[in-house]
């Protein structure tokens, strides 16, 4: 029987880590993820876990410590945000290239500069091509659930890639919501014991980690990483099914909210989906066939599945909470439109960049996007596909 609680997203992440009881947690404080290692350190000090907690001098060191621990055969976790993730950047790539299934809780925040501690997705988008599996979470429950599934996915023999679970800074990380926790023993049984096949402290198999990888080998190793990311799709699906059997909570690559009979729809990630669902319900009462596709699995990107899910629509808007600064749309927009093109699905698609630096996103603004989509559906004309909402324009 599940345990009903009221927790913030950071508390939920810390409790998931407590139930996982990793061998090593290395972390450095940065807003708004600071509470996760802070809460977890209390579990270490009171004996609730037997984790080795490493209080390092920087986020670069935090990821370095996780790499060392994981390479030695330990299960390692960390948490960070924004500039902390940026400081890890070198080690983020090393973790994935060494095929180390580290799990990180990423509390999304704007990357400086200028300095801003509030939510957007610029930190996650900055490492989207680094070889990490990336799961996004609409609310506290999903942040908790995704973390419980993370090790099963990352440590699978056909995957062996690091994984980050994303949630929106302050919006979910500091907001208290009702949540259902899984019993400790069930979590322990679900996750299992980490038994790596190759690790540094195995005296029977001397090995090196991180040697020079010249042109003779690097291409093949990168191809293996790419294959592992492709393999992750099937594993994520399998683990999600097992999780549903344990909890009754169903997860897929994405959530289709009133999408099957929709004529217009929004594609978005994380907490914005909650606002969009409210707007969809409101528009449905007015007779508008609006729908939503909420992306949960951003890496690997479910290209074929998303293209198929959107194929029947008359117009689609993709919302990006980070600007790629390329004059050609945000990262999610690029992936969605590429998926549609490759899979020969011709649906008018428009991009909206929004919410930068924690700018409030209201239901009225989301409804405005749906109104734009209805006009596109009526006329067939997209006009400028690269748009913004919620920004003050120069006069």
The CATH class of 254-388 is alpha beta
Residues 6+ positions from 263 with CB-CB distance below 8 Å = 289, 290, 313, 314, 315, 377
Q: Are 3-247 and 254-388 in the same CATH fold?
A: yes
The label of the residue with tokens 């139930």 reads 19
The CA distance from 277 to 287, in Å, is 15
The label of the residue with tokens 């799961």 reads 135
At 393 the pLDDT is: 79
Per DSSP, the three-state class of 14 is helix
For the whole model, what pTM was predicted?
A: 0.97
The CA distance from 339 to 341, in Å, is 6
Residues 6+ positions from 143 with CB-CB distance below 8 Å = 9, 12, 13, 16, 105, 137, 165, 167, 172
User: pLDDT tens for residues 86-126?
Assistant: 999 999 999 999 999 999 999 999 999 999 999 999 999 99
Whether domain 3-247 has CATH 3.40.50.970: yes
For β-strands 264-269 and 290-295, DSSP reports them as parallel
What are phi and psi for residue 353, nearest 5 degrees? -90, 135
Residues 6+ positions from 216 with CB-CB distance below 8 Å = none
Token couple for 185: 């023993």
Whole-number average pLDDT of the chain: 97
The CA distance from 248 to 119, in Å, is 30
User: In sequence order, what E strands does the chain have?
Assistant: 3-8, 24-27, 52-55, 76-80, 103-108, 133-136, 163-168, 176-181, 254-257, 264-269, 290-295, 297-299, 315-320, 349-353, 386-388
- Check if the beta carbon of residue 197 is closer than 8 Å to that of residue 137: no
Q: How far lies 109's CA from each of 86, 125, 224, 374, in Å? A: 11, 11, 31, 32
- Check if the beta carbon of residue 29 is closer than 8 Å to that of residue 86: no
Residues 6+ positions from 128 with CB-CB distance below 8 Å = 134, 298, 299, 331
User: Hey, where are the domains in the chain?
Assistant: 3-247, 254-388
- Check if the beta carbon of residue 155 is closer than 8 Å to that of residue 101: yes
Per DSSP, the three-state class of 46 is coil
- List the Cα angle 305/326/314 in 5-degree steps: 40
User: pLDDT tens for residues 116-156?
Assistant: 999 999 999 999 999 999 999 999 999 999 999 999 999 99
At 348 the pLDDT is: 98
Torsion sign over Cα 317, 289, 301, 346: negative
User: pLDDT tens for residues 22-49?
Assistant: 999 999 999 999 999 999 999 999 999 9
- Check if the beta carbon of residue 338 is closer than 8 Å to that of residue 304: no
Q: Count other Cβ atoms within 10 Å, centred on residue 21.
A: 18
- Check if the beta carbon of residue 174 is closer than 8 Å to that of residue 39: no
pLDDT band at 2 (very low <50, low <70, confident <90, very high): confident
At residue 7, does pLDDT exceed 90?
yes
- Check if the beta carbon of residue 145 is closer than 8 Å to that of residue 250: no
At 394 the pLDDT is: 60
Token couple for 154: 């990352």
């Amino acid at each position: 029987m599940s345990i009903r609680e009221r927790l913030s997203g950071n508390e939920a992440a810390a409790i998931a880590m407590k139930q996982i009881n990793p061998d090593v947690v290395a972390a450095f404080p940065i807003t708004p993820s600071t509470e996760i290692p802070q809460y977890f350190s209390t579990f270490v000090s009171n004996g609730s876990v037997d984790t080795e907690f490493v209080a390092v001098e920087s986020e670069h060191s935090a990821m370095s410590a996780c790499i060392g621990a994981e390479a030695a055969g330990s299960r390692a976790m960390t948490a960070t945000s924004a500039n902390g993730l940026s400081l890890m950047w070198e080690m983020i790539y090393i973790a994935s290239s060494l095929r180390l299934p580290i799990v990180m809780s990423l509390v999304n925040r704007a990357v400086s500069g200028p300095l801003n501690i509030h939510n957007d997705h610029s930190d996650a988008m900055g490492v989207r091509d680094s070889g990490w599996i990336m799961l996004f979470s609409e609310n506290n429950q999903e942040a908790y659930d995704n973390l419980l599934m993370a090790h099963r996915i990352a440590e699978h023999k056909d995957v062996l890639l690091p994984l980050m679970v994303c949630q929106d800074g302050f919006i979910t990380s500091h907001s208290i919501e009702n949540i259902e926790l899984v019993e400790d023993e069930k979590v322990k049984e679900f996750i299992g014991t980490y038994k790596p096949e190759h690790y540094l402290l195995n005296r029977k198999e001397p090995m090196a980690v991180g040697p020079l990888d010249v042109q003779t080998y690097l291409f093949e190793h990168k191809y293996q990483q790419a294959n592992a990311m492709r393999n992750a799709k099937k594993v994520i699906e399998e683990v999600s099914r097992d999780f549903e059997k344990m909890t009754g909570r169903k997860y897929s690559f994405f959530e289709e909210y009133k999408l099957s009979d929709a004529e217009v729809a929004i594609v978005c990630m994380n907490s914005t989906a909650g606002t969009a669902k409210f707007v969809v319900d409101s528009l449905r009462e007015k007779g508008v066939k609006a729908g939503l596709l909420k992306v949960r699995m951003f890496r690997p990107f479910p290209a074929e599945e998303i293209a198929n899910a959107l194929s029947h629509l008359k117009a689609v808007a993709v919302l990006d909470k980070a600007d790629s600064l390329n004059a050609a749309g945000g990262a999610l927009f690029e992936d969605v439109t590429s998926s549609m093109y490759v899979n020969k699905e011709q649906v008018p698609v428009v991009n909206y960049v929004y919410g930068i630096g924690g700018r409030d996103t209201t239901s009225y603004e989301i409804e405005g996007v749906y109104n734009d989509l209805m006009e596109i559906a009526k006329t067939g004309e997209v006009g400028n596909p690269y748009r913004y909402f919620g920004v003050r324009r120069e006069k």
